[in-house]
Structure formats: C-alpha cells, structure tokens
Structure 1
Amino acid sequence: MKECLKFYINGEWVDPAEPKTLDVINPATEEPCAKISIGSKKDVDKAVAAAKKAFDSYSQMSVDDRIALLTKITEVYQSRYGEIAEAITMEMGAPAKLAQMAQAAMGVAHLGTTIQILKDYKFEEQRGTTTLRKEPIGVCGFITPWNWPMNQIMCKVAPALAAGCTIVLKPSEEAPLDAYILAEIFDAAGVPKGVFNLVNGDGPGVGSAISSHPDIDMVSFTGSTRAGILVAKAAADTVKRVAQELGGKSPNIILDDADLQKAVTGGVLGVMQNSGQSCNAPTRMLVPAGKHDEALKIAKAAAESVKVGDPNAEGTTMGPVVNEVQYNKIQALIQ
C-alpha cells in the first residue's frame, strides 16, 4: 500500500502539523490502496505563508520564463504519464483506457493550451490615453473534486502559473494520488519554492481553512452546491475573489429532425462514460412523444453494449462508482 503522508510546502516534503491519516479506497476492490495525511489549519497557514512569500518574486517572472517553466512541467508530466493514469484508475475507478485516453490526457491538454495562449497574451494594452494592465491576483486556493481529478487540478493550476500566481491546492481526499504525483512533477521541473503547495485534507478542515484564509486572494472550488455554499460563506469575510463550478447535469433534448439512432446511442454512451460521474453527463433524455418507443429500444441496445467490470480488465468500458456513499445515493435515486 502506497503511503503519501507528507505535504509539499515551500518546495519541500514536510510532515503534517498534527498526525492524522486516512485510507484511500480502491473502489474496484473496496480495499485500501494508499494512506494519506489529513491536514489542519496549521498546515494551511504554513502553505499560505510560503505562497505569499513566493508571490513577490514569481509574479515578476518574465512571460518567457513562465512559458519555459510550463514547457518543462509538460515534459516531466509526459515522463510520468502512465503512473498518473494508473493512479486515477486505482483511486476513483476510471477504466484504464479512459484514464489513459482522457483523464490523464487532460493534464497535457490544459498545459498545451495554456502555453499557446500565454505566448500571445496581452498583459498590457493602450485604450486611448489609458493603460490597461492585467496583473496576477496573488495567492490562489484551489479545491478540486474526485470525478476528473487531474483535469480539474490542471485547469486551475496551469492558468494560475501562467498568470504569475502562487498556489495552495487541496485535492479531493477521495482521489489524492494523482495530485501527489503532480507535486513530484512540479518539484522535478524546478517550480520555484512556495509557488505550488499541496495540502491533503477534508472540506471541514483544510477546505474551510483555505476558503476563509485572509492571505488567500482567490479561491476556486469545483464540487457540490452544498459545499459551494459553505466555501462562499467562508470566503465572504475576507472579500476574496471566488470562482465556483458546482456542476449539475443537463437535459439531452432530441428534436424531430435528429438522427434518432445516432442521437440516442450517443446520449446513452455519454452518460455511461466515467460511470456517469461527469457534470456534463446528459442523464435526462427528452424525445418527441411519437418516437418514445423507438428511442427506448435504441437506448436499451446502447446500454447493453456497455461492458461493466474491473477497470483494469481488457474491454471494460464502465468501472465502479467512486465509493459506497455514491453507490448508495445512486441506488436510492433508482428506487
């Protein structure tokens, strides 16, 4: 069993302020696959202090140097690509092919897009007699979910690094292993001390400490509406900037002139991908009343083509849901 008991703060792997551990459960086996430390406000304070100190110099780094840093991160990421995919499969049950082709791939995609945008981004421009200058916000606190762990981490972290911000990251305690590898990647790539900091923990402990911290200038949260409300309330007293993506699945509306076979099949398979654990999964399909029976037959055939099983087995297209809590919630909704 892998042990990830240290936090990455100020360019070093450090012990938590207070020893407290949590088993990471492999949902395919329902057995522990790793052990992490659960952080506290003291750990967040230490990480924020490091990020605040690093901001003074990192925010002044040239665009060319930030491009070079992101390029180096991409290079090291590619060398650890297989490990990242395996970690995502192990921690949240994504089928191996999905983890390889999509979950881990999104890290590279976000880095690549960020680099391309940064090359031509106008941080300063003239508007008449006014100079408009865009400056980094400061210390950013990022709280990320378990369903697309690397995607949600990198879509926050890469732009922050590009802008000249420093970071304190709390990944989901359900799926923290890919984030641990990412911290190792940043260390190997030469990210300056204090620019990126990783503190594992839960929402009530580390999440609330990040949201309410007076020296964090912006918090970005992806997750449930319930937790999002708590983040917004905790952030309000310090008037920090708050960015939230609280998900929510949308209806899939199929009109009369659509190719019914293609639309229904694509809709059903879109739901099944990632075990339905995507905020864009089109879980409510609306079809013309006159085509209901035909659509039902197509949907049944599409659902029967899905192969449920061990996420590491050849041909599996749907693995387990992330944990017992989610499983029970799904069963209750079905009933």
Structure 2
Amino acid sequence: MEKLQLYIGGQWVDGHSGEYIYVENPAKKEMIAAVPKADEEDVQRAVKAAKSGYEIWRFYSGKQRAECLYRLADFFEVHQKEIASTVTQELGAPVSMAEQWHVAGAAGETRFFAKLAEDFAYETRHSGYILRREPYGIVAGITPWNYPLDQITLKILPALAAGNCVILKPSQMAPLTAYWFTRGIEEAGFPAGVLNLVTGCGGEVGNVLALHPDIRMLSFTGSTSAGREVGRLALSNIKKCTLELGGKSAAIVLQDADYEMAVDAVLTDCFMNTGQTCNAITRLLIPASAKEEMEELAIARAREFVVGDPQDPNVDIGPLVSQKAYNSVAEYIKKGLEEGASMIAGKVPDGAEKGYYIQPVIFSDVRNDMTIAKEEIFGPVLCMITYDSLEEAIAIANDSEYGLCGGVFGPEKEAIEVARQMETGVVCINGSGINSGAPFGGYKQSGIGRESCEQSMDEYMEIKAICIPMEG
C-alpha cells in the first residue's frame, strides 16, 4: 500500500507525527492508500512556507499568474482519465460520472480563472480615490470528500488568481484526488510555497488552520454543523471566512409543466453521485391533482437506475462513501417510514457486506415537517410533497433552514417569476444546470459567499481606498 507525503514549500515531506490515515475504497471496503495524519507542527511548517512563497507570488503580475494557471489547465487535460480513476477508487463514483462530472470541467474552470487573473481590474481610479484590490496573503482551503477535485478548484483557483498563497486540507475520506491537483501545481511551475498540501483530521488540522493568526482568510465546504464550528473559530481572531454548507433543495413543478421531463431531471439530479451532493434537489413539490401521474412516472424512472460496481460503465449509482454514511442514510429511510411517508421506490438497506450500496428511495405522502423533508440526508432519497396552490408551493419551498439551490418546472416566464420568490442562492429552470460563470452559494444556513464566478475573486481580496485630493 502506497504511503504518501505532505507537500510543503515545494517539497514532498513526511508528516511530523509519523502517523497515517488510511483511505478506503467504498465499493470493495479495502484500504487503498495512506496519507499523513498531520498535526500542528505540520501546519506551522506550511504557514512558514506560504509566507515565504507570498513574498514572491504577490509580485507576480496578473499575466504571470495566468501563465501558471494555463499550464495547470493543460495538466488536467493530459491526466483527465487518471484523475477520474482516482475519484472512482476513493469516492465510489461510477466511471462514467467520474470523468464527465468530477474531472472534465477542471481545465475549463482553470482557464476561466486564468483569464480573470489576466484581465482583472486590480486597481481603478475614481473621483477622489484609487480603489485597490489586494490579496489577503495566506488562505486556508478546507474541502469535502463528495467532489474531491471540483471543490478544490472552486476554492484554490480564485485564491491563487487573486495572488494569495494557499494551505489546502482535503477531507480525510477522499484525499487522494488532491494529490493530482498538487502534482499539477508542481508541474506547472508555481513558486515554492504558493500551494501547500496538509492532510489530516478536520478536528485537528482544520481547527489549527481556523485559529492560526497568520492565516488571514479561510474557505470551507462541508456540513452546516461543521461550518458553524469552523466559522466560530475563524471569527475568534477576525479571520475572513466563506462557507459553502448544506442544503435541502426543492423543485416546484407547475401545473402546466412537462411532468415526464421534470421527473427525469429531478431524479437524475437527486441520485447523481449517490445523492452525496449538497445542492441536490431532494424535495419535489407537485400539484396535488397530478399526484398519481407523477408517482407513476417517478416509479418507472427509478427502475432505470443501475446500482453496482462503479468500475462498470453501465452503472449509474455507486456506493456511499463510508460505513458511517451508509448507517446515516439507512436510519433516515427508516425514520421516513416511521413518520408515515410511503416508500414508492427502493427498500430499507439490509447490510453492506460487499460495499456501501443503497438502492435509490422515493417517498411520497411526505409532509414538510417530517425529518426526511427537513434534514439533509446526503444519500439517494427523494421526498415528494403535494401542494394545492402556487402560494403554498413557494411557502413550502422556503420553509427550510437551508437555501442553497432550487428548481422550477413549467412555462419559462411563469417559472422565472416563481424563482424570484424562492429564498435560495441558485434556481434552475426546467432542468438547466448551473451554467459556467454563474455564482454558486446559498442563503440562510447554506453558507456565506459565492464560488465559481467572477465575483468569487473578490472573496479572496482585501479592498483598499487610497484617498487623493479632489481636483478643483
């Protein structure tokens, strides 16, 4: 079994503790690699390296930073299949999805931020003042396991484009993909210390990063409960913090919608990545008058999803990431039945001897006050909820502590008007994806800040006003 190292100051080095975290393939329940269990000493080394790197990187022009990022994009294209294979092994994402959804967009995202770095207005002159945007200096990125490359690129690329140096702590559940990102940084010729990779446990390394006084900004993606704690620690020393957290996204199907298209789009979205997607549509709000018709459509479509070995190109849904995730989703399914929901597709999980597989589940007769409709399950579970009026549908959609994503199906003009009334950071009309360049982030308990867009550059920059005498 391969034992990997940390990447600090442009060098591959052993962890201070000498201890390791073992990474499991959830499809086979086999350990496939080990990464260092970093400690506070490793974080201190990474901070020192980042401070040294910043004295070089901060003076790179936007064009020079862009050149490094363009080379990184080339690396992603050359190694796309290998990176996708790693995602399949450590996450269990089916091979068909791993390349298409997890990796294929990385090169394009990198070029997007390279172009921003090249063209960004770092300094503009106004009447009576000069407005400057300057990097924070050292940024910490704490990323989740469910999209192990995409969640790194969404944080690290704008941070680097803005001129910051970064300490990256990937999830201990799926840290191997982060090594591809780091090798890309190395091959692209970024100065030493610009990116530092520190693997470890969230409650140890993550807390040290959040509390470190020399780290000026922190970006975190994960559960709302974990984000709340990270944010509390970061704010204890007034650290800038962005949080991309949980969701319980609702799609409203209007009376005049294409029901078959709506069901297909929602089930595909809900079950993608085995339901382990923070912005997945997990509440489907349907007209009460169309309940039976839409249930039949949902049952028929659910039968078409193939669950199994993620290495099989015909498989749509692989395993959940871990035993803990499996147990959690299984308990939610049981809870749904206990609270009176009707399971119209799927079954109660009965064991995970050969991998953490769960058949996709659809509940009907769900009330919005049920646990399965309120809490983020993070598995392939959809709740169907009926409504009698459009006002009621909007109220149900907004009756959530989350506000990450949403959807509306129906005539476009009417759907957009409904979208304007939804309390959520993103609303997709008639199955539209989240298009490139569109800001991604949530309302309420779903987080603070925006990613994947031009505006995300501002998240990683300080704003300075240089006041000058007014003319005349």
Classify the TM-score, shorter chain.
Answer: over 0.9
Cα distance in 1, alignment partners of residues 140 and 21 from structure 2: 22
Equivalent residue for 2:100?
101
Cα distance in 2, alignment partners of residues 122 and 115 from structure 1: 14
Equivalent residue for 1:333?
332
Equivalent residue for 2:317?
318
Cα distance in 1, alignment partners of residues 161 and 278 from structure 2: 26
Cα distance in 1, alignment partners of residues 270 and 108 from structure 2: 23
CA shift for structure 1 position 226: 1.3
Between the two structures, name the one with larger relative contact order (CA 8 Å, sep ≥ 6): 1
Matched, 1:300 2:276: no
Equivalent residue for 1:261?
260
| Structure 1 residues 107-140: Cα deviation after superposition (integer angstroms, max 9, x where no partner) | 2232021123223211111121211011111100
Query: Over alpha carbons, which structure has the higher Rg?
Result: 2
Equivalent residue for 1:115?
114
Secondary structure (helix, strand or coil) at the match of 1:149 reads coil
Letter in 2 for 1:139: I
CA shift for structure 1 position 191: 1.0
Tell me if structure 2 keeps the 8 A contact 1:217–1:240.
yes
Equivalent residue for 2:163?
164
Letter in 1 for 2:45: K
Tell me if structure 2 keeps the 8 A contact 1:268–1:303.
yes
Matched, 1:45 2:44: yes
Secondary structure (helix, strand or coil) at the match of 1:169 reads strand
Matched, 1:181 2:180: yes
Tell me if structure 2 keeps the 8 A contact 1:44–1:199.
yes
CA shift for structure 1 position 68: 0.6
Equivalent residue for 1:3?
3
TM-score (norm 2): 0.70
Letter in 1 for 2:60: M
Tell me if structure 2 keeps the 8 A contact 1:85–1:99.
yes
Equivalent residue for 2:272?
273
Cα distance in 1, alignment partners of residues 62 and 28 from structure 2: 46
Letter in 1 for 2:228: I
Secondary structure (helix, strand or coil) at the match of 1:219 reads strand
Q: Which of the pair is proportionally richer in helix?
A: 1
Over the matched positions of the two proteins, sequence identity in percent amounts to 39
| Structure 1 residues 195-253: Cα deviation after superposition (integer angstroms, max 9, x where no partner) | 10000001111110111111000000000111111111211221110100112121111
Cα distance in 2, alignment partners of residues 36 and 69 from structure 1: 27
Tell me if structure 1 keeps the 8 A contact 2:71–2:188.
yes
Cα distance in 2, alignment partners of residues 220 and 195 from structure 1: 16
Cα distance in 1, alignment partners of residues 49 and 22 from structure 2: 28
CA shift for structure 1 position 166: 0.1
| Structure 1 residues 166-208: Cα deviation after superposition (integer angstroms, max 9, x where no partner) | 0000001111111012111111111100010000001111110
Tell me if structure 2 keeps the 8 A contact 1:25–1:91.
yes
Cα distance in 1, alignment partners of residues 147 and 249 from structure 2: 18
Cα distance in 2, alignment partners of residues 213 and 106 from structure 1: 33
Secondary structure (helix, strand or coil) at the match of 1:298 reads helix
Matched, 1:81 2:100: no
Q: Where does structure 2 lack aligned partners over 5 or more consecutive residues? A: 335-472
Letter in 1 for 2:3: E
CA RMSD of aligned residues (A): 1.0
Equivalent residue for 2:285?
286
Secondary structure (helix, strand or coil) at the match of 1:134 reads strand
Please list, as runs of the form range in 1=range in 2, the aligned pairs for 1:203-222 lying within 5 A after superposition.
203-222=202-221
Secondary structure (helix, strand or coil) at the match of 2:279 reads coil
CA shift for structure 1 position 69: 0.6
Equivalent residue for 1:13?
12
**Which stretch has the larger CA shift, 115-124 or 320-329?**
115-124
Cα distance in 2, alignment partners of residues 118 and 200 from structure 1: 28
CA shift for structure 1 position 40: 0.5
Letter in 2 for 1:266: A
| Structure 1 residues 243-295: Cα deviation after superposition (integer angstroms, max 9, x where no partner) | 00112121111110111111012111111111011111111111000101111
Tell me if structure 1 keeps the 8 A contact 2:62–2:119.
no
Cα distance in 1, alignment partners of residues 63 and 270 from structure 2: 41
Tell me if structure 2 keeps the 8 A contact 1:139–1:166.
yes
Tell me if structure 2 keeps the 8 A contact 1:150–1:179.
yes
Secondary structure (helix, strand or coil) at the match of 1:135 reads strand
Secondary structure (helix, strand or coil) at the match of 1:322 reads coil
Tell me if structure 2 keeps the 8 A contact 1:269–1:303.
no
Cα distance in 2, alignment partners of residues 259 and 25 from structure 1: 42
Tell me if structure 1 keeps the 8 A contact 2:6–2:13.
yes
Cα distance in 2, alignment partners of residues 195 and 278 from structure 1: 29
1:105–1:249 CA distance, 2 compared to 1 (3 A): farther
Equivalent residue for 1:124?
123
Tell me if structure 1 keeps the 8 A contact 2:56–2:191.
no
| Structure 1 residues 85-108: Cα deviation after superposition (integer angstroms, max 9, x where no partner) | 011100011110111111012322
Q: Where does structure 1 lack aligned partners over 5 or more consecutive residues? A: none
Please list, as runs of the form range in 1=range in 2, the aligned pairs for 1:118-157 lying within 5 A after superposition.
118-157=117-156
Please list, as runs of the form range in 1=range in 2, the aligned pairs for 1:25-40 lying within 5 A after superposition.
25-40=24-39
Letter in 2 for 1:115: A
Secondary structure (helix, strand or coil) at the match of 1:18 reads coil
Secondary structure (helix, strand or coil) at the match of 2:105 reads helix
Secondary structure (helix, strand or coil) at the match of 2:144 reads coil
Tell me if structure 2 keeps the 8 A contact 1:84–1:104.
yes
Equivalent residue for 2:410?
none
Cα distance in 2, alignment partners of residues 97 and 77 from structure 1: 17
**Which stretch has the larger CA shift, 157-166 or 70-79?**
70-79
